[in-house]
Amino acid sequence: MIPVPQPVLRTLAEAFGASAESLSHFGGGQEASDGTLYTYPYGDKRRLLKIMAIPVEDQRIGLLCFEERLRFLRFLGDHGAHIVFPQYSPPGNLYETCTRENHIWVAYSMELAPGKHRHEKTWDSDFFRNWGQTVGKLHHLAQDYPSWQALSNPETGKDLLTWRREWESFHSWMQDEEVKAQWVALKQQLETLPVVRDSFGFIHNDPHIWNLLVDGNRITLLDFDVANHHWFINDIAIACQSILIFQSGGLNGPVRDRTKLIAFLESFMEGYELENHLSSEWLSRLDLFINYRRMLLFTVLNNWIKSQPGLFDSWKGMILSPPELVGDYFGAETGY
């Protein structure tokens, strides 16, 4: 994550009617972050400003993808999804830019949603059901969004924002050759999966517990900056992340209590099915997508993981010999 230079911060703050001095750091800015969040006063309330960097050499494609994600966010918000809703800048733009040296910096503003983050060790069936319902509504709405397989580059006709491009970016990033070989093998499995409208589309692609704000029974989804065209089941696998790390094991270390994961999924899917249906055939592929997430996070956090040899060995071992976690538990007899 590249720190935001002060001149960039000043320029982008002013573009949204604020000053750099009025900004307060809200989140992001770490190694695994895709941007930095600030709050700033807006009337008698406060809004969020997110700032991200795009390399100048990638700015054409980077801005196309950035704009499409913001359009998707506006679509979701206009149709009742509980998301952080992007707001127009005073000149009437969904985002503003500032170029400095080798990067184009982009910023967009959002409403500051009510609520708080839940602790990663939270165990609350009602919360899990509400979480599932929130993700289910997003997947239901995604089936009416015009773009569902890819974003087409108007100049070249090439596909952007696809699971294959995500896979390729991580393949280039991976340093461990054994893990990279597993990544290649996993892609071969993904290539065999059907791509149909009721199970594939524009998804959040990161709806883990730290990207939720909880206000009573209402859950607001944050951070759509890696939204992508992918299988719906991938969002469900990602939602399992905190359970797999802190409660059941199975992501970065040995399985400790599989029943915790199953109980979470039962509640989550109960809420999900209130908004969208996903067949038991897809739920039987959860282990595949959990392994996808396992390798993706191993790559994103590689420098930190390497500093802890025990964790590195444990996490890599889970990649080389992925355990069965869900299997075919959600078969026809469960009603899914």
20 and 85 assigned to the same domain: yes
In a domain, 117, yes or no: no
Residue 234 belongs to a domain? yes
**Same structural domain, 72 and 152:** no
Which pLDDT band, with edges at 50, 70 and 90, does 28 fall under? confident
How many structural domains are present in the chain?
2
Flag whether 247 is in a domain: yes
- Same structural domain, 161 and 85: no
For residue 261, give both structure tokens: 């994961």
Give the pair of three-digit tokens for residue 323.
């355990």
Query: Is residue 118 a part of any domain in this protein?
Result: no
Nearest in space to 299 (alpha carbons), one of 185, 120, 178, 212 = 178
The owner of tokens 């859950």 is 219
Domain end position, chosen among 63, 81, 111:
111
Whole-angstrom distance, CA of residue 282 vs CA of residue 328: 10
* Residue 255 clears pLDDT 90, i.e. is over it: yes
Here the CATH number for the domain that contains residue 62 is: 3.30.200.20
In a domain, 241, yes or no: yes
Is residue 197 situated within a structural domain? yes
Q: State the Cα angle at 95 between 93 and 96, rounded to 5°.
A: 95
Q: Which band of pLDDT confidence, cut at 50, 70 and 90, is reported for residue 332?
A: low
Residues 195 and 226 in one domain: yes
Q: In this structure, what CATH number is given to the domain that contains residue 158?
A: 3.90.1200.10
Partner residues linked to 106 by β-bridges: 52, 97
How far is C-alpha 52 from the geometric centre of its chain's CA atoms? 15
Are 234 and 130 contained in the same domain?
yes
pTM assigned to the model? 0.93
Average pLDDT over residues 204-231: 95
Question: How long is the chain?
Answer: 336
Q: What are 308-322's pLDDT values in tens digits?
A: 889 999 999 999 999
Among the candidates 82, 111, 140, a domain finishes at: 111
pLDDT at 51: 95
Asked, for residue 116, whether it belongs to a domain, the answer is no
Same domain? 257 vs 281: yes
Per-residue pLDDT tens digits for 147-206:
999 999 999 999 999 999 999 999 999 999 999 999 999 999 999 999 999 999 999 999
**Band of residue 32 on the pLDDT scale cut at 50, 70, 90:** low
What pLDDT sits at residue 34?
79
Residue range(s) defining the domain that contains residue 160: 125-334
Amino acid at 172: S
Q: Examine the domain organization and report whether 158 and 305 are in the same domain.
A: yes
Whether residues 161 and 195 fall in one domain: yes
Nearest to 202 by CA among 64, 72, 34: 72
Q: Identify whether residues 249 and 306 lie together within a single domain.
A: yes
Residues 191 and 272 in one domain: yes
Q: Rounded mean pLDDT of 197-219? A: 97
Burial class (CB in 10 A: 0-12, 13-18, 19+), 231: buried
**pLDDT confidence of residue 336:** 57
Q: Would 35 be classed as within a structural domain?
A: yes
Is 33's pLDDT higher than 90?
Answer: no
User: Residue 31's pLDDT is what?
Assistant: 62
Cα–Cα distance measured from residue 231 to residue 194, given in angstroms and rounded to the nearest whole number: 9
With bands split at pLDDT 50, 70 and 90, how would you rate the model's confidence at 2?
Answer: confident
Q: Are residues 171 and 312 in the same domain?
A: yes
Count of alpha carbons within 13 angstroms of residue 108, beta-carbon side: 22
The yes-or-no verdict on residue 207 having pLDDT over 90 is: yes
Are the CB atoms for 244 and 253 separated by under 8 Å? no
Same domain, 273 and 145: yes
Least confident of 58-62, 188-192, 264-268: 58-62
pLDDT at residue number 143: 98
Q: Is the pLDDT of residue 299 over 90?
A: yes
